[in-house]
Structure formats: C-alpha cells, structure tokens
Chain A
Amino acid sequence: MKAPKSAYSAAVKTGKVEKHIMVVWVDNEAGVLARVVGLFSGRGYNIESLAVAEIDKKQKLSRITLVTSGSPEVISQIKKQLEKLVPVHKVADFMRNDPKIIFRDMALLKVISNEKKRSKAKKLCKKFDPVILDKSNKSIVIQVTALRREIDKLVSDLKPLGLASVSRTGAVAMTRGAEVFK
C-alpha cells in the first residue's frame, strides 16, 4: 500500500525488541518518580513493572528498578534520557536474561476455600519460599517470592483453589557474587 503523503517521513525498521532491567539511583525528593515515569510516557517507552523505595535515609537515595522492553536503539535512548534527569545519580541497564543478575518479584495471595483446597494451595507454593502471614478458619494469606512468570503460573494454578485476591510488586534486582552495580 502506498503511504499517505505527509510532512513527516515514514517509520524505519528498528532492531529486535528485547526485555531489559534498568536500575536507577535517584535523590528521594518530591516529584522524582513523576519525572522518571513521565519520561517513559512522554517518549513512548514501555514500563512493564516498577519497584521503588528509599535505600539510604541519610543521603536520601532511592533505588528504582524498572522492567522495560524496546529495540537496542530505544533502550540506549532510555538510559541516556534517564541519565540527563537532574536527580538521577546513575543508571544500570542489563538484559532480562543476563545470568549474572538475580530478580525477584513478591506476591501476597489470599486463598478463601475449604481446608483441603487451602492445604493444596500451600503445597503449590512450596518452591517459592512461602510464608503464611495470616490464617483463619476460612482463609490464608501466603507470601511468595519468585520470578514474574512463575508467579503468573502460580496465580492461574491457584484460581480453582479459591484464590480471592492478589497483590504483587515489581521486580527488584541484584548482581550475583561479589560484584555490585556500577
């Protein structure tokens, strides 16, 4: 099909879209999260998940872990654009499948069902370091930590066992071994 005539040129082919994790150290000041998130929405980048909390009270430093996807060109732009923000100290970027990096999501799962189903539910959670945070004679609240796709699977498996409520965090990340993010 012929492209419509326009004052702008047509889109060009880009590289393969891949999933990346960005770790961003920022000053914990008013509006800093809006700056980061606004950068993504304003420039049309994706955010798959986001986790943020203060990690150094004295220096007022927060650490943002962001899961995003894009072509290599887009990923490089995201990193450079983040680095330009005044409250950003540094940005680490790596591929989602980098073996040197550990990721964890956390989920709180409330299961409301009979005793039999509840114990089955606990069993399903076993390999994800489950912690029972609360129980009653009708319900349990289980905390698990795992990869995103593992939690996705767990959630769908728990549905028939009375899963009533799910609360999840975005991924947080850390390097393996003695290395730290630079």
Chain B
Amino acid sequence: MGKLFSGAEIVFKVLEHHKVEHIFGYPGGAVLPIYDELKNHKTIKHILARHEQGAGHAAEGYARSSGKPGVMLVTSGPGATNAVTALTDAYMDSVPIVCISGQVPTHLIGTDAFQECDTTGITRPCTKHNWLVKDVNDLARVMDLAFEVATTGRPGPVLVDIPKDIQFKKTKFLLKNKKNKKPNEKLNGKISNSNLDKIIHMMKKSSRPVFYTGGGVINSGPEASKLLRELVSLTGFPITSTLQGLGAYPGDDPMFLGMLGMHGTYEANNAMYNCDLMINIGARFDDRITGKVDEFSPKSKKIHVDIDPSSIGKTIKVDLAVVSDVGSFLKSLNKRFKEKNKDFLNSNKSNTSKWWKDIDKWRQKKSLGFKNSNEVIKPQHAVQRLYELSKHKDAYITTEVGQHQMWAAQHYKFNKPNRWMTSGGLGTMGYGLPAAVGVQVANPDKLVIDIAGEASVLMTMQEMSTAVQYNLPIKIFILNNQYMGMVRQWQELLHEKNYSESYTAALPDFVKLAEAYGCVGIQAKKPDELDEKIKEMLNVNKPVIFDCLVDPNENCFPMIPSGKPHNQMLLGPDDEKEISSEGKVLV
C-alpha cells in the first residue's frame, strides 16, 4: 500500500505539478487544513490580501501580466461571496483564475451551518466551470482538470469548493498521465487553406481595409503579438485595437490608429465605419465598440477570428468566421500570405493610398487633443507626463474604472503585450490597486503603476496594506477630481446636469492615508510641479499614493454618444450642446 495523503496535501501537490509559485488568499475556518499545509511547500508563496475581492483582482493582475493562471484561496461563506466580483470580472475579460474555496464539512452542507453558502450555486454563472468535491478520491483529478479548463480555449475562472472534512481525509495520490477529456478542444477547428485563401483574396480586393484586434491577441501569448506586427507590415493595412488589446501592436507606430470604440479616436472609429474590409482578430464586438449595431460598419465585409464559437455572430453578422486561437491563426495566415504574395506591400500601395489619405484627414482632427492649462492640472496632461517620464522603464499599468481609465487608454502608449491590465467587460471600480499588487508579485523588478480615480481606489484601498507587507513598490497615481467622473459626465450629457450623488464629499487626505499605511504620499496641485513630483514618485522604492489634483470639470473626449454609430462622434466640449438635437450629424 502506497503513502496516503490528506486532501490538503493533494491540493498542494497539484499546485506544485502546475508549477504554481504564488497564491493570493485569506484564511478562515473552513479552509484552515489547507493553510496548515502551506508551511510544508516552500516553492509556493502565499500573499495575504485584505479582502477576498482584492485577492481575486491580484490573481487577475498576476495572470494578465505573466500569462500564467492566477490562483486564489478563500474560505467558505463570506470568503466565497467576496470573491464573486473578481471571478465575474475574470469571466468577462477571459482571465485564467483557479479559485479554491473551503466549504463546511459534507455532513453539514445544506443545514445553514456557520459560514455556509451554496458556493458552487452562486459562482456557476461567473465561472467557466466549478466543482464541489465530495469525495477525496476525486480531488486530484478535479484540481488538475480545473487548471486545464481555466487555461485552455477562451481562458476564464474556475472554482473548486472543498469541504473541510475532505481536506482532512486521506487517500492515495494519483495524478493520471492520461489526458483528461479535452473540455475546450472539442470547439477548436482546423484552419483550412481554402479559408486562408479566401481571407487573402478578400484582403487583395480591399481598398479600405482595417485590422480590428482585441484581447484575444494578448491571451494567445507574446508570439501572437509578434505575428500580428508581421502581418501588419506584410499588408500595410491600418490597425486599431480594443481596450483589452492595447499593447499587442505598438501604440506609437504610424500604422496604429489608436483605440476604437466609445472613447476611441476619430480616425479609428471612422476607419471602422467607412472600411470595406474589417478583419477582427480576437475581439468580440462588444457594445462599447459597436455603438449602434444596425449602423455598425455598414459598407464592409467582415472577417472574425475568435477562439470562442459563441462570440461569432452573437451581435454582428460576419462574412467569414474562423474559430481559432489567434496565434495559430496568424501563423498559418502569415505563412500562406508570404508564400503566395511576394511584394504585396508595394504592389498594393496604390490600392490603399486613397484610404490612407482619408485616414490622415481624420487624424488632422487630433481627436485626443485638449485645452491645456497653466492654472490647473488637466487629467490628460497628467497621463501624458506620466507616460513621457516612465516610457523607457517598461512600465506595467493597471487602472480602475471611469474617466481616468479612458484617459490612460488614450494617452499612455503601450509597446508590448501584458503591460496593460484594466477591467473592461465588467467595469469593476476597485480593480486597479489589487491588480497592481498581483502584477508586482509576478514582476518584482518592474515599475507598476495603477492609474486611478479617487472614487474607484477607495473601494479596495485596504490592499495598500498588502503592498506594504510584501514590499511591493506599486505606484497609485490618482487623478483626483472629487467626482465619480464618468458618472458625472453621463449626468451632464444625458440627465440635464443633475449630478445626483456623483460628488464625493469628505474625501480622505491621501498623503496622510499613505503615511498611515506606512508608504509614501505625494500630492501635486499645480501643472508646474507635476514633472518633479512624478519623478519623485518614480524614484521611491516603496509603495506610493500620488494624489494628483486635476480639473474637476474635465470630460472625456472624443466619445460616441449613446446609441450612435461610429461616424457621429463628439469631439469636445463645444460639441456637447448638440447631443440633444436629434437628426443632426454631429461631426
């Protein structure tokens, strides 16, 4: 008879098998046997969060900046319910997370025991899959499968709920080499040469093409970003990116039109509206991208490459769909393209020259422009200065959700994948600070900055304590306008300036707050001191809270107003009054 292992030991054995180095968590009664076992596994470091939501977002930041799955460990009841926001966030943004939760002992399940909740019931709609393990003999197989489900196909969160008695129970440890039933592979088709030829044919015929790329490129790994750059240079086609795809293509490259969508650039959105060929690679036609669906890019043929079959045809009908991982698709396409189309770039130049002229015309609008001031710090200016002063440092940027997030996306230029972590699908205020914690754990020697709003950051501010405990020198760069800025902007544009509850009175003194946490607080009030203060922040090797007091009335432009198509953007405050007069073309 072989050696017997407890459920808790088996959990760690599977974590070791998957080369997990960090777990983010918070202990509690129902998960104590697993915490007890932690001391015997030196290769696995536990990061103690201050709230399970923080542990979850940290695991997300860890996963998105490293490409490895993030692991979190929480207790039953409130531990699990607190994790729900982070799990849902990861589900919407396709982040691989393995969440292990403790549960009350099996004999108490269903009795409304202390700290009991129906964890698998609650998390069913916000995970790719979840398991309640009621037999210790299933534990190794389930834990192993959990990693596989989280990381294959379209990545996402999974949860394994382990009752306390199962953590104690002993059994033989067998991790079968036999491959599990491939949960996602059944969805993955082969890319046929005839499909590739069709795509290449469409590309040749097009005179107004555009690449529209998304988070799928990032999720596919750094190789996919390289292949994307190659494809753009092979074709000479313009490229725009979604919020989640930023960094897959260099943000300062002349082929790049900037981000598209509700707060995307004028040139990107007009290219989407007027193109005759749209090549969507790893994006999902999200409603912040499409605007009014029935007027979305009316003149184009559309190609859609997505690993998730249910993304195809969900909101936008496409002419050619490929269900595939972005990396393997690009590899086949580039190969085929090079074989058959030597010198395409030169021969096709005249074909798209008119298109590039149109794009240059749109670029002349300088839609990301704003009126700078000597009196008050403009938030856009603050992000631009932060970018200029940190761009040579290979910085990792996280954000919260709101105006500051859009300003960061517009004005901070990314050149590499996995450098940009933001909550797009769920739009979770409070994401950025704990995500920065996770990013810094995964990348200990890198510069990690959370571009934050003062309202968002207060939602998970307690995680500063985590940053201090583990010497994680994250920089919290708060664009403080004293408002929930995006809420206020919508109220201004849509609700007759009735700023209902969007002003935060009694904000804390962020410098003192930083000091209370044992980190460094810096405040910038005037434009002329901004550079110096940013440099000061970048030079501190400790966590910093940077309170940047910005113009409280600034709005985020350009924008596609509610339910309008891409060619009807508001470019700035002077356009605002026109939003109510219907039927007017606003550009």
Contact B124 A7 (CB under 8 A): no
CA distance A65 to B159 in the complex (A): 28
Q: Say yes or no: is A42 at the interface (Cβ < 8 Å to chain B).
A: yes
Contact B494 A5 (CB under 8 A): yes
Closest B residue to A5 by beta carbon equals: B494
Indicate whether A38 sits within 8 Å of B129 (C-beta atoms), given known contacts A77-B314, A84-B187.
Answer: no
- A9 interface neighbour in B121, B287, B314, Cβ under 8 Å: B287
Indicate whether A9 sits within 8 Å of B313 (C-beta atoms), given known contacts A31-B120, A31-B124, A35-B124.
Answer: no
Closest B residue to A42 by beta carbon equals: B125
Contact A10 B563 (CB under 8 A): yes
Q: Taking the nearest CB of chain A, how far is it from the CB of B91, in angstroms?
A: 12
Indicate whether A6 sits within 8 Å of B563 (C-beta atoms), given known contacts A31-B120, A73-B313, A86-B183.
Answer: yes
Q: Say yes or no: is B562 at the interface (Cβ < 8 Å to chain A).
A: yes
14 A-B pairs, CB-CB below 8 angstroms? A7-B490, A7-B562, A8-B287, A9-B290, A9-B291, A10-B292, A31-B132, A38-B125, A77-B313, A77-B314, A83-B309, A84-B308, A84-B309, A84-B310
Q: Inter-chain contact count A-B, CB under 8 Å?
A: 64
Extra A-B contacts (13), CB below 8 Å, given A35-B124, A38-B125: A2-B582, A3-B563, A6-B494, A6-B562, A8-B287, A9-B293, A30-B134, A31-B124, A34-B124, A73-B314, A76-B313, A83-B187, A83-B310
Contacts of A5 in B (CB 8 A): 493-495, 562, 579-580
B residues adjacent to A (C-beta < 8 A): 120-121, 124-125, 128-129, 132, 134, 149, 183, 186-187, 287, 290-294, 308-310, 312-314, 490, 493-495, 562-563, 579-580, 582
Contact A9 B562 (CB under 8 A): yes
Contacts of B495 in A (CB 8 A): 5
Q: Taking the nearest CB of chain A, how far is it from the CB of B423, in angstroms?
A: 16
Contacts of A10 in B (CB 8 A): 292, 563
Chain A interface residue count: which class?
20 to 34
Q: Taking the nearest CB of chain B, how far is it from the CB of A25, in angstroms?
A: 12
Q: Which of A1-45 contact B (CB under 8 A)?
A: 2-3, 5-10, 12-13, 30-31, 34-35, 38, 42
Contacts of A60 in B (CB 8 A): none
Contacts of A76 in B (CB 8 A): 313
- A86 interface neighbour in B128, B287, B308, Cβ under 8 Å: B128
Closest A residue to B486 by beta carbon equals: A7
Contacts of A2 in B (CB 8 A): 582
Write out, one digit per residue, whether chain A residues 90-106 have a CB within 8 A of any chain B CB (1) or not (0). 00000000000000000
Q: Taking the nearest CB of chain A, how far is it from the CB of B152, in angstroms?
A: 11
CA distance A108 to B213 in the complex (A): 57
CA distance A5 to B293 in the complex (A): 16
Contacts of B120 in A (CB 8 A): 31
Closest B residue to A2 by beta carbon equals: B582
Contact B291 A80 (CB under 8 A): no
Q: Say yes or no: is A175 at the interface (Cβ < 8 Å to chain B).
A: no
Indicate whether A7 sits within 8 Å of B132 (C-beta atoms), given known contacts A12-B294, A42-B125, A83-B187.
Answer: no
Nearest first, the 4 A-B pairs at minimum CB distance are A9-B563, A80-B310, A86-B129, A5-B494
Q: Taking the nearest CB of chain A, how far is it from the CB of B74, in angstroms?
A: 20
Q: Say yes or no: is A165 at the interface (Cβ < 8 Å to chain B).
A: no
Indicate whether A8 sits within 8 Å of B293 (C-beta atoms), given known contacts A38-B124, A83-B309.
Answer: no
